[in-house]
């Protein structure tokens, strides 16, 4: 599904965020990235989303070198990837329902079909009863779940998450991870960046460790 081939990323010519990253993720896998902040977790996700281009090497997704996508194809590429952001990236001037509906609106899904899928996604994250609320009225954990609902509403084959439990207490974090495992069970490929080592250890999934922009360990689940 995803293959990094000797990928390097420099910013401003000097700072090396990633160096010689080489790994693959199979379809249906659930993979964690760990590492201290600045180790390159976010850069890696940004490369997959094609928010950035590698300075060296190739990033292959579904057999295609995504650097070769034309700028006009990038939006259509991004639509096939669900992304959960650490800071949610919700729009505070519209309701929960309309936040979750945003990807479908962008894709031009017919409104009735869109409403059905939004409610299904909200139901999945257990917040169907808050659809009319504004994001500001929700707790941090609830906002994160809205972000997840938005990421999965168009049933992406690949789900990326950047520190999805960053600001949550252990119980809420565990709930969110359980949610991710549910998606993984129905075939979604997941790549989750997290520094919550204790939680990751408990979940027993493949874990890639980054340090100073280098891949230092690739631990398969046992």
For another protein, give the closer residue by CB, 186 or 198.
186
The nearer residue to another protein, 32 or 85, going by C-beta atoms, is 85
Minimum CB–partner distance for residue 79 and another protein (Å): 4
Structure tokens at 174: 């565990």
The minimum distance between CB 13 and another protein, in angstroms, equals 17
Q: How far is the CB of 222 from another protein (least distance, A)?
A: 27
- Quote the CA–CA distance of 107 and 98 in Å, as a whole number: 14
Cβ–Cβ under 8 Å, residues 33 and 12: no
Residue 17 near residue 11, CB atoms below 8 Å: yes
Measured from the CB atom, the residue of 50 and 203 that comes closer to another protein is: 50
- Our CB check for another protein shows the closer of 34 and 99 to be 99
Nearer to another protein, 20 or 86 (CB): 86
SS (H, E, C) 147-170: HHHHHHCCCCCEEEEECCCCCCCH
d(C-alpha 206, C-alpha 222), whole Å: 9
Reduce the DSSP state of residue 60 to 3 states and report it: strand
Query: Rounded to the nearest whole angstrom, what is the least distance from the CB of residue 101 to another protein in the complex?
Result: 11
Closest distance between another protein and the C-beta of residue 83, in Å?
A: 7
Closer CB to another protein, residue 105 or residue 169? 105
Helix ranges restricted to H, the chain: 41-48, 74-78, 96-107, 111-124, 140-152, 170-185, 197-203
Sites of contact with another protein (CB under 8 A): 1, 27, 49, 51, 61-64, 66, 69, 72-73, 75-80, 83, 85, 89-91, 93, 102-103, 105-111, 150, 157-158, 189
d(CA 185, CA 205) in angstroms, rounded, equals 13
CA angle 185, 111, 77 (to 5 degrees): 55
CB of 77 to another protein, least distance (A): 6
């Amino acid at each position: 599904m995803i293959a990094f081939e000797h990928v390097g990323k420099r910013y401003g010519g000097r700072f090396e965020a990633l160096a010689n990253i080489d790994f693959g993720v199979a379809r249906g896998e659930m993979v964690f990235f760990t590492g201290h902040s600045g180790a390159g977790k976010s850069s890696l996700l940004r490369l997959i989303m094609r928010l950035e281009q590698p300075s060296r090497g190739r990033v292959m997704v579904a057999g295609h070198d995504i650097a070769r996508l034309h700028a006009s194809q990038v939006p259509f590429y991004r639509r096939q990837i669900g992304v959960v952001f650490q800071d949610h990236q919700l729009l505070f001037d519209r309701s929960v329902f309309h936040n979750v509906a945003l990807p479908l609106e962008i894709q031009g899904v017919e409104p009735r079909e869109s409403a059905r899928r939004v409610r299904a996604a909200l139901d999945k994250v257990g917040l169907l009863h808050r659809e009319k609320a504004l994001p500001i009225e929700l707790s941090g954990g609830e906002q994160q779940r809205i972000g997840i609902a938005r990421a999965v509403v168009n049933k992406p084959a690949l789900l990326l998450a950047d520190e999805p439990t960053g600001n949550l207490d252990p119980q809420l974090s565990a709930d969110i991870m359980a949610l991710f495992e549910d998606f993984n069970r129905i075939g979604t490929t997941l790549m989750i960046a997290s520094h919550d080592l204790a939680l990751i250890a408990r979940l027993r999934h493949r874990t890639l460790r980054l340090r100073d922009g280098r891949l230092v360990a690739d631990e398969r689940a046992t």
